[in-house]
Amino acid sequence: MTGWSTADIPPLNGKTAVITGATGGLGYETALALAGAGATVVLTGRNETKGRRALEEIRNKFPGARIAYEDLDLAKLASVADFAARFAATHDSLDLLINNAGVMALPKRQETADGFEMQLGTNYLGHYALTAHLLPLLRRGNQPRVVNLSSLAHRSGTIDFDDLQGAKSYNPFKAYCQSKLAMLMFALELQRRSNAAGWGLLSNAAHPGYALTDLIANGPGSRGLLGRLGKILQPFASQSAAEGALPTLFAATSPQAEPGGYYGPNWFYELKGPPVPAKIMRQARDAAVAARLWDVSAALTGVSFDRVAVAA
């Protein structure tokens, strides 16, 4: 696996991929690489103008790319359901779902359209619902995979069932860490459930290390003393969005990527470098907490994997 790059992506002709948050940053770089390898790629996002621009840029690099853009707002469960319905109306199957979109450490507590804390709702609950809606198509896919984007921040995360939505006490980074821990736990639990129910999925996760994206540039850490320190360290400890997308691409395409695997950069503290197996913290491996989170998520979103699987 040492030195793995986009040159190692196998041919993806005939594969169909959906990527959330694909109009910029990690999602765009992921879409670009998959399109270049021959996959049919559906980029999703909240901004149609940015979506059209992303399509144009990818077509400039790969004129024959099979790509499309669709509106999808993970902070609105109705938007998630609408996208899934539109996709199902035009596609018989789905081979690859990359749950990439996210928001980071919002200074003030905000809520989604459904009343969820914004980071939990966008980063995790929206992806939970999307994956459930798309399960029938994934089950009909060719060696289907689901890749969840987690973060080094999962190491500091806990699932606070007593205040899951941060309504009692909101802390920007605590909420972000919880959402990214939830994404990793979701990936591991999805693999367990797939194994038990025979869904046929390969579910894994990845993180980009310290990748320079708009999430970092526009986040609260970009200001003040922390922001100045970050700019000093960036040349040594960070990598580009294209490099940060490599763990995701490895998880999504490599024959070496394992069910329930987690991948990140190989350098100090997994900050940068080519993809290797990443450290999974003990709390992320807690199957009892993951099962409870799964049930709570089903209740909150009103979407049940079990009902969808039976319907499929």
Say if CB 253 and CB 204 are below 8 A apart.
no
**Half-sphere exposure of residue 101, counting CA atoms within 13 Å on the CB side?**
29
The catalytic residue among 176, 210, 262, 263 is 176
Q: Report the phi/psi class of residue 235: left, alpha or beta, with left for phi > 0 and alpha for psi in -120 to 50.
A: alpha
In the numeric block, which tokens belong to residue 13?
A: 């002709």
The DSSP H or E segment spanning 290 is: helix 287-301
The angle at the Cα of 152, spanning 150 to 154, to the nearest 5 degrees, equals 65
**Half-sphere exposure of residue 232, counting CA atoms within 13 Å on the CB side?**
6
Sole residue written with tokens 């099979």: 66
Residue 240 pairs with which residues in a beta bridge? 212
The angle at the Cα of 24, spanning 21 to 26, to the nearest 5 degrees, equals 75
Q: Measured between alpha carbons, how far is 236 from 254 in angstroms, rounded to an integer? A: 28
Per-residue b/e over 221-230, b at no fewer than 16 CB within 10 Å? beeeeeeeeb
Q: Strands, DSSP E only, in 106-257?
A: 145-149, 202-206, 211-212, 239-240
**Which residue type is seen at 180?**
K
Q: Is 124 a catalytic residue?
A: no
Handedness of CA 187, 46, 48, 218 (dihedral sign): negative
Instruction: Residue 257: name the closest of 272, 232, 275, 237 by CA.
Output: 275
Torsions phi, psi for 89 (to 5 deg): -75, -20
Catalytic residues, by residue number, are: 176
